[in-house]
Structure 1
Amino acid sequence: MKYISTRGQVEPKGFIDTVLMGLADDGGLMIPEQIPVISPEELREWSTLSYVDLFLQIFARYVNDEIPAADLRELAERSYGNFRHPEVTPVKKISDSLYIMELFHGPTFAFKDVALQFMGELYSYMSRKNGDIIHILGATSGDTGAAAIQGVRGKEGIKICILHPHGKVSKVQELQMTTVDDSNVLNLSVKGNFDDCQKMIKDLFADLTFKKKYHLRAINSINFVRILAQTVYYFYAYFRAQDESGERKVNISVPSGNFGNIFSGFLARQMGLPINKLIIATNENNILERFVRTGEYQPGEFRSTHSPSMDIQVASNFERYLYYFLKEDAAKVSDYMNKLQTEGKIVLSQEDLEHVQRDFAAYGASNQDCLQSIIKYKNEYDYLLDPHTACGIAAYEQCSGPEEVCITLATAHPAKFDESIVLCEIEQEFPAPIQALFSMPQHQTIIDHDLNEVVRQLEAFYTR
């Protein structure tokens, strides 16, 4: 297995080199040269595996034996051994047509833990093996930062800097990042929105001299290993729901902002997992819904919503889907991305739009939709949704058919977004680790939206 760039200007790389590269050196995103296809017989064999064993089966198709099997198992067992549920990502039946997969049983109570606990262990493993210092750099709309910091805090040979939009994440998300006082962690709170933070990260990775000088590594979903680690729970979810769904088709509804989580589902389907509909659930920052409905991909006006982790207008992983949509033509991908840069939008033909609509359904939940879903499911099913999962539920109700089964991904514990829960006049009890955050001092540096200031902060951090 080799890995190539969506823009075609990078020599094929192995798995470890791909992980270390993060953003491709030509500005594209790294993808497998060929997606391995799992046979129906293998799928049946996989359907009864534990989460860790399923993880190992999937990763074995991608790592090229660059990590010995025993080492990979040790990394996986360490990554998922500290989750609060023995199944890692349990599936709960809510009604005859709805299941919820809970992805929030990791250390920071969000789905990002599923990939980032493994990435933290993997980077630490690479640092020990190669004797290199690794400088992890990322941007977050809330959950990635906390999960990434938790995955590498205190680890020798690794420093991590996370940018987050000042005042635009939930209080718990902010505290989970900024109450960490380890010397290898730097939190930069940027006066701007997530898209501003993300663009500065991409600009720094595109500066190949700076990237090489400081051994920059990516923790965002621009790094393919993030995508691959998330793919595992699509298989796990499908197998659990299929046990009870009989002959009904299985859909999966995915709260989506940066297109990474939904692309992991797309990758699972390309590997042979027979998901019926992949439903993109967005909020009022609904660029992805508009793309699926109209064929126009154009960032709009940024809106702050009750689901802040999805307050994103520029979806990084969209380029990966574009590559497969364009029949793996890297030159066309470059043309499309250049058009997006110069004209501010991409517009598809009617024929191409019909292709997209075969791949995805989509629904953009309003703030009111979000709150109403939280209230409804608490009252009718005694199940408390976080606001992102509530958007996924709203999309399920709009897009899943009466004879179909749907799994909605629960991407965070509701305690992380109590600002939304209190608007529903619902009181919740915080888990002890979250409650403890409110009495801890914070450590962050508030800066203007200024790339030069970010560089100055990084150079001081890396050289101390």
Structure 2
Amino acid sequence: MRYISTRGDSPALDFEDVLLTGLAPDGGLYVPESLPQFNLEEIRSWRGLSYSELAFKVMYPFVEGAIPADDFRTMLDDTYGAFAHKAIAPLVQIDSNEWVLELFHGPTLAFKDFALQLLGRLLDYVLERRKQHVVIMGATSGDTGSAAIEGCRRCEHVDIFILHPYQRVSEVQRRQMTTVQGDNIYNIAVRGNFDDCQRMVKASFGDQSFLGGKTQLAAVNSINWARIMAQIVYYFHASLALGGPDRSMAFSVPTGNFGDIFAGYLARKMGLPISQLVIATNRNDILHRFMSGNKYEQQHLEATLSPSMDIMVSSNFERLLFDLHGRDGHAVKTLLEDAAKGPVSIDDFRWKQARSLFDSSAIDDKDTCDTIRDVFQQNAYLLDPHTAIGVRAARNCRRDASIPMITLGTAHPAKFPDAIAASGVSAKPELPAHMVDLFEREEKYTVLDNNIADVQGFIAKHWKNT
């Protein structure tokens, strides 16, 4: 399997190099030259497989030639063996033909664990073989940071620097990052928003001279192809559990950076029957405004009760634009350069092609709270604010009630007690046993100004091989 850049000016790489490179030298994101294709008979034969066995079937074509099959199987068994629920990603019914796919039973209680627990093992495997050291630099709006730290903290060949927006993540999210001890772990709170953090990461990947040529950056954000690859699996898992592939499915996905829902788009391209993908956003609704009106325009970022989606620049949307433009990297590059200057639209026929599969809805804090309260009153089932946005968007956009609608449950409600309290629900979500002392653990993080020179200087000073 070879991987190419969405902007067309970087050489194709194999999986191992893509894993370590993150952002392409031309500023694009890597995607496979071609996707594996599975027919209905083959997908049907996967019924009854364990999650890790299914993950091997779906993902191995992406790593074949880089990692031996037995080694990859061991990584998958170790990754998903650490989850707290034997089903790994159980489905819960909340209404007639309406389901929540619980993706929060990993170590940090968020869907990011599905990819980042595996990513840490992949990095350790490849870096040990190469005897190479790298610096992980990532930006988080809340959940990626803790999942990346948990997934990579035992890696012998990495230093981890995670940027988060100062005072713009929940306290649980912050403490999950800042209480993990390790001499290779650094948390940086940037006086800005998530988009500021993400811009710094992208700029640093584009010019790594601040590292003095002694090491290279590696990505844990969803710009890293391995993140997307791992998320494809649970679409197949959910479909098989509800009668797929002999019936189609619809999915509603709470998304800010477009990575999780892009994985669903890829699952469909690989052969899984999916009739509808709902983009569920909060009031930072650049994706909804594009999908509903063909206008891609950055606006002021607002803080909400769903902080993991407080994102205005959706990095992975570039991967969809690449497909919509016939995989013409130069067209994508021009479009995104124009988008940095002001609002842009795409050709009407390309936009209608996207609309044939995607719908979207933007949910404000009031409707988020109303949904949390309504679902709890009806089912005694507690949603986190992001999943609540997914449920409300699914109900707003559902095309066919006879098709199962599956909302991705992206985080445990205990991570967002303020949103639960704001909804008026009396139940207090409890942290699981392995986190009961979270608020007693010592925190360690550094607050820096919204200045890339300060951030790069801190990294250059602290990575342990300097």
SS of the equivalent of 2:228 reads helix
C-alpha separation in 1, matches of 2:209 and 2:168: 32
Q: In the alignment, what sits opposite 1:38?
A: 38
Are 1:444 and 2:445 an aligned pair? yes
C-alpha separation in 2, matches of 1:357 and 1:264: 17
Q: Residue type matched to 1:68 in 2?
A: P
CA RMSD of aligned residues (A): 1.4
The Cα of 1:208 is off from its aligned counterpart by: 4.6
C-alpha separation in 2, matches of 1:114 and 1:296: 32
C-alpha separation in 2, matches of 1:350 and 1:299: 20
Q: Residue type matched to 2:260 in 1?
A: N
Q: In the alignment, what sits opposite 1:459?
A: 460
The Cα of 1:45 is off from its aligned counterpart by: 1.1
Q: In the alignment, what sits opposite 2:295?
A: 296
The Cα of 1:35 is off from its aligned counterpart by: 1.4
Are 1:21 and 2:24 an aligned pair? no
Range moving further from structure 2, 182-191 or 49-58: 49-58
Q: In the alignment, what sits opposite 1:93?
A: 93
Q: In the alignment, what sits opposite 2:121?
A: 121
How many aligned positions are there? 461
Is the CA contact 1:99–1:241 (under 8 Å) kept in the aligned structure 2? no
Q: In the alignment, what sits opposite 2:252?
A: 253
Is the CA contact 2:52–2:80 (under 8 Å) kept in the aligned structure 1? yes
The Cα of 1:210 is off from its aligned counterpart by: 4.5
Pair 213,345 (structure 1): closer, same or farther in 2 beyond 3 Å = farther
The Cα of 1:246 is off from its aligned counterpart by: 7.7
Is the CA contact 2:94–2:375 (under 8 Å) kept in the aligned structure 1? no
C-alpha separation in 1, matches of 2:432 and 2:34: 43
Q: Residue type matched to 1:297 in 2?
A: Y
Q: Residue type matched to 1:382 in 2?
A: A
Are 1:359 and 2:360 an aligned pair? no
Q: In the alignment, what sits opposite 2:265?
A: 266
Q: Residue type matched to 1:446 in 2?
A: V
Is the CA contact 2:253–2:261 (under 8 Å) kept in the aligned structure 1? yes
Deviations along 1:115-161, one digit per CA (max 9) or x if unpaired, are 00000111111121111112111000000000000011133111110
Q: In the alignment, what sits opposite 1:350?
A: 348
Is the CA contact 1:141–1:194 (under 8 Å) kept in the aligned structure 2? yes
Q: Residue type matched to 1:163 in 2?
A: L
Q: Residue type matched to 1:315 in 2?
A: S
Range moving further from structure 2, 349-358 or 75-84: 349-358
TM-score by length of 1: 0.97
Q: Residue type matched to 1:269 in 2?
A: R
Q: In the alignment, what sits opposite 2:419?
A: 420
Are 1:434 and 2:444 an aligned pair? no
Q: In the alignment, what sits opposite 2:193?
A: 193
The Cα of 1:350 is off from its aligned counterpart by: 3.2
Q: Residue type matched to 1:440 in 2?
A: R
Deviations along 1:7-31, one digit per CA (max 9) or x if unpaired, are 1111111111111111011100000
Q: In the alignment, what sits opposite 1:329?
A: 328
C-alpha separation in 2, matches of 1:184 and 1:375: 42
Q: How does 1:34-183 map to 2 (within 5 A)?
A: 34-183=34-183
The Cα of 1:181 is off from its aligned counterpart by: 2.0
SS of the equivalent of 1:268 reads helix
Is the CA contact 2:210–2:456 (under 8 Å) kept in the aligned structure 1? no
C-alpha separation in 1, matches of 2:214 and 2:293: 43
C-alpha separation in 1, matches of 2:87 and 2:432: 19
Is the CA contact 1:362–1:399 (under 8 Å) kept in the aligned structure 2? yes
The Cα of 1:433 is off from its aligned counterpart by: 2.9
Is the CA contact 1:258–1:315 (under 8 Å) kept in the aligned structure 2? yes
Is the CA contact 1:25–1:208 (under 8 Å) kept in the aligned structure 2? no
Q: In the alignment, what sits opposite 1:307?
A: 306
Q: Residue type matched to 2:251 in 1?
A: I
Q: Residue type matched to 1:294 in 2?
A: G
Deviations along 1:265-288, one digit per CA (max 9) or x if unpaired, are 111111111111011000000111
C-alpha separation in 2, matches of 1:198 and 1:52: 31
Is the CA contact 1:102–1:409 (under 8 Å) kept in the aligned structure 2? yes
C-alpha separation in 2, matches of 1:209 and 1:40: 49
Are 1:240 and 2:241 an aligned pair? yes
Q: Residue type matched to 1:361 in 2?
A: D
Pair 349,127 (structure 1): closer, same or farther in 2 beyond 3 Å = closer
The Cα of 1:76 is off from its aligned counterpart by: 0.8
Is the CA contact 1:14–1:64 (under 8 Å) kept in the aligned structure 2? no
C-alpha separation in 1, matches of 2:72 and 2:100: 29
Pair 461,315 (structure 1): closer, same or farther in 2 beyond 3 Å = same
Instruction: Identify which of 359, 368, 371 aligns with 1:370.
Output: 368
Is the CA contact 1:172–1:434 (under 8 Å) kept in the aligned structure 2? no
Is the CA contact 1:281–1:392 (under 8 Å) kept in the aligned structure 2? yes
The Cα of 1:100 is off from its aligned counterpart by: 0.8
Q: Residue type matched to 1:46 in 2?
A: W
